[in-house]
Amino acid sequence: MKNRQIAGVILLTITVSACQNNQTPKDPKPEAAYLEKTPETEQITAGSDYLIENKTSHSFSDPAKKDAFFIGIKGKNLLDGKVVFTITSAEGKQLLKEEFDADYLLGYDFTGDIKSQKDTDAFIKKRMQSFFSEDKFSTPAIENDVVFEDQSYYIDKETWEGIKSDKQAIGFYYLLGSEDGRHIAFSKKKGKVVMYYNCC
């Protein structure tokens, strides 16, 4: 995203366990689930099923507060595992929960040997560690010079314009696979997280 202005202070924590086995990545197009439910943030303990995890606190749905961002992989090994990505508000409301296969973390910039566990594990760990890096956040979410593109299958123009007009709206970007780049923000109009741009 161009001309980004950084928002919030990011704290990263990462825990890693040993992994094994291989799998060839598939064409990435998992469905995201943008929720309005209100469960408590998932608690991660020493006895957790997660092989690796990363979490941070960052302003998102409310510029004055910090939401909890979490991503973790559970399963028998990193490449064959399942990724869980959640965002939970300061009040404990779950704003987003998305699950996808861990091999979606292998993108166009993976240059290692797909048959090498060492190479795939190292790349996935790197992606996990940088998933919430500060450059993935932007304020405002949508710059003044950006024009609405008809993407009615994930956002309508009124909702998009509402996010663009809010100069305190905070955007977050993440990439799945090589071409599924997702830009999300909290829509005050809808009271939930929405994807406002999706591209390669």
Q: Are 19 and 121 in contact (CB under 8 A)?
A: yes
Question: Does residue 2 lie in a domain region?
Answer: no
| Residue 88 or residue 24, greater confidence | 88
Helix, strand or coil, per DSSP, at residue 124: helix
Question: Does residue 79 lie in a domain region?
Answer: yes
Question: Does residue 151 lie in a domain region?
Answer: yes
Instruction: Determine the pLDDT at residue 110.
Output: 93
Listed in sequence order, the residues at least 6 apart from 41 whose beta carbon sits closer than 8 Å to its beta carbon are 68, 70, 86, 88, 92, 94
Edge-first strand order for the sheet with 67-74 is 13-16, 50-58, 67-74, 82-88, 94-101
Q: Which of 161, 147, 166 is nearest to 60 (CA)?
A: 166
Give 93-132 pLDDT, tens digit per residue: 999 999 999 999 998 889 999 999 999 999 999 999 999 9
The domain in which residue 105 lies consists of 13-18+25-199
Q: How confident is the model at residue 24 (pLDDT cuts 50, 70, 90)?
A: very low
Number of domains in the chain: 1
Question: Does residue 142 lie in a domain region?
Answer: yes
Q: How confident is the model at residue 133 (pLDDT cuts 50, 70, 90)?
A: very high
Give 173-182 pLDDT, tens digit per residue: 999 998 899 9
Residue-wise DSSP of 146-161: ------TTT--HHHHH
